Chain A
């Protein structure tokens, strides 16, 4: 049975025209206010053109909100969303220091608990504030088992301060502190395997996601929101400025990172691998590297270029093997099926966004 009162209420809320003259006229709302999604992160923020992090944060808050509060580490996200006295956030949000987002979130969670409120606490950090500087605060938060969802926006370097290497920067990428040149072909060391470290805390849920697969990302956020305990999500978020690719290629580059195996999309529960997004057609790593200026030296005449390319290819192959990323035929949850759209947003064949279960 249709609940007329609720229907009228929804119409008012979303500004649709009433079905009959007797119904109440829609309230005056701007089209922006009438968007059928939660606007946790508003326009007017100062992110660069094509910013992957701005997109990732919006996607997360959109499906986590509105009953959330956020502790944010220092970084691009903090800077570009809150140019005093303005704020792009429409949820309670706090910034303290670079290293303590997890600690501040722990305190916020404890306070909510003391007040008997169910507001979920989120902690946001970049890869610098998570892999490096905020790492011990994060480990402590997980160990104390706070009911917090920690989201790391991984753009693989300190972008806010001008592209310095972090422990998340991939091998062979050039940054201002790991420049490619006579001595080295970009960063000498490997990208830190943070997921395994986090999973070793034996927490309920650890996952990786990518801005190129928003439905998959939001499914993971919704799952994490339902967990009473610590959860960790790392979102691969390209930075056109730091990765030196065209601003329109943000999604394309992020998708290729997943499709070549360098950034596997996986889920771990209590430390055990439970879900992966299979790759329908595995791409060569070069497809991912080519559009990015930070890997341009790998396509130069330098004799070491081929070796480093092969090294990155071997790392991707290793991920594919370890996580079992090779797809079998057409799977609605693989990289091809997860991207598929149809008229009115639906994929042509039943794609519920659920990844394959690992038995």
Chain B
């Protein structure tokens, strides 16, 4: 009740009786936690913004825990991932993308060094079990997420060791064995994960048997067979397929001798091979690819699909590249190659929205070479997968990897994947679907919007230089020593300060400081949305100042009557 004072005075603070909130006519401020672009771009489903926030508080172990909630192998992906997160980073427009990749690697190595425990509990003894075929990155990730979700996992691996293509196809210069072993050992030792080696699908186990025994069967066999390659019917006597050659080299440390080699393909295997061949003493190594090198005018869909750093280093090491071309014909003397006919080619839009390759008549030229190595991709080994392989791959129906009742596919074997990070992400997605379905529900995708750079207020970010990882000089590069180094703890903590916290509250106090109506209340206890502030809508006049001055875009103005349902 309004107290009328005698004389011209008012009691202190009595204006609180007058609720200026009813002046708001169209919009009110709301807290909206949009996806950071790094998170949206991460094939492994990491929320980089969330773990960078922990690092900004100086809490490295907590940061690692948030990271491994999605990806249990940061030490591996921190070395081999093509980091699409960095390509998507909003800071690129300001003063260079965050060095997310290097920080991830540092965290992975710290965890191993200090023996930080994975944030999982041992599943119950009678928990449902899942059977996983293949102990590659996808299978291991699935096993880890199974345990995180209270399931037990049994992995059947054909080989004698875990790691899949991480071990067989990624050179030590990118992923040293010590780093790989340390992380996989910790992972395989988690309670609830049982890895059985030398168990080959089709010989020792069958999909049907497993399906009868387990709550679900997850197929993560990877792609082990090279596509048949013949050029105009001619295949040389000493023909080597790319991945097989790479695996052979990883085991024996030797390549067949050649002076001039063409590697034909456009993926990481091709680049790895080129670099190893060059380092082993081959005089001329040429990569022939249907894609293009990255450049300011290159269509992103046309850019060669490899780790950008690897391509950069390959060019440094004088690997030659012929863009937009393919090998048309081999020039043979008897069963030996003496040359290759190259023809220009481009991927152009074809019927049904799919790209088709068109080679241009009249652009054929012959290059003198001793060896042509195709790296044109691999397909699933069909052994034990009767009736499941369609056109080389498992090709599941949806993003969850559903192949059928209690049957899922993940990783490279799906046919629409190609990186370690995607396989790791598949592990989490498949287990998410299984957990939901065991509970009688359907899995839900994260439908949140992404925070674009235009949604931020860049005024409030100090310009800070990007961390740079040390690199071995070209003349010191061998077959065993890792080429890219560690940025170290100090640089990591400095790099963490560069994170813009896109779409999430930074607790910077801007809204609290700038509200002319004191309608922002600072409170950690009562702000249930994870921010540190409440809007007192009794007094908010809806000016929109807080939203305009919020650095991260976490405050947005929304139509007054649409908010209730959000």
Contact = CB atoms under 8 A, between A and B. Distances in A.
Given A32-B536, A247-B545, A343-B508, A88 B514 contact: no
Contacts of A91: 12
Given A251-B549, A343-B56, A81 B15 contact: yes
Contacts of B8: 84
Interface in B497-517: 497-498, 501, 506-510, 513-517
B543 A43 contact: no
What 4 A-B pairs are tightest by C-beta distance, nearest first?
A: A248-B544, A87-B10, A44-B15, A50-B543
Contacts of A54: 516-517
Interface stretch (B313-321, B370-378, B454-462, B482-490): B454-462
Interface residues on B, range: 35 or more
Contacts of B360: none
Given A214-B514, A247-B544, A342 B519 contact: no
Interface string A338-353: 0111111101110000
Nearest to A345: B509
B11 interface: yes
B348 interface: no
Contact of A44 (B16, B463, B521): B16
Interface in B220-272: none
B49 to A, nearest CB: 11
Nearest to B522: A35
Nearest to B526: A31
Nearest to A343: B56
Nearest to B8: A84
18 contacts: A31-B523, A35-B522, A39-B13, A43-B20, A44-B17, A44-B539, A45-B517, A49-B542, A50-B543, A82-B10, A83-B18, A86-B11, A86-B14, A87-B11, A248-B543, A336-B462, A341-B510, A349-B497
Interface string A187-203: 00000000000000000
A35 B501 CA distance: 25
B5 interface: yes
Contact of A348 (B15, B497, B516, B534): B497
Interface in B513-538: 513-519, 521-523, 525-526, 534, 536, 538
A58 interface: yes
Task: Classify the interface of chain A: helix, strand, loop or mixed.
Answer: loop
B53 A343 contact: yes
Contacts of A44: 14-20, 539
A288 to B, nearest CB: 14
Q: How large is the interface on A (under 10, 10 to 19, 20 to 34, 35 or more residues)?
A: 35 or more
Contacts of A58: 516, 518
A249 to B, nearest CB: 7
A296 to B, nearest CB: 20
Contacts of B551: 341
B171 to A, nearest CB: 37
A58 B520 CA distance: 13
B548 A252 contact: yes
B518 A49 contact: no
A255 interface: yes
B419 to A, nearest CB: 31
Nearest to A214: B513
B268 to A, nearest CB: 35
B39 interface: no
B403 interface: no
Given A49-B23, A86-B10, A341-B506, A248 B547 contact: yes
Given A43-B518, A47-B517, A348 B462 contact: yes
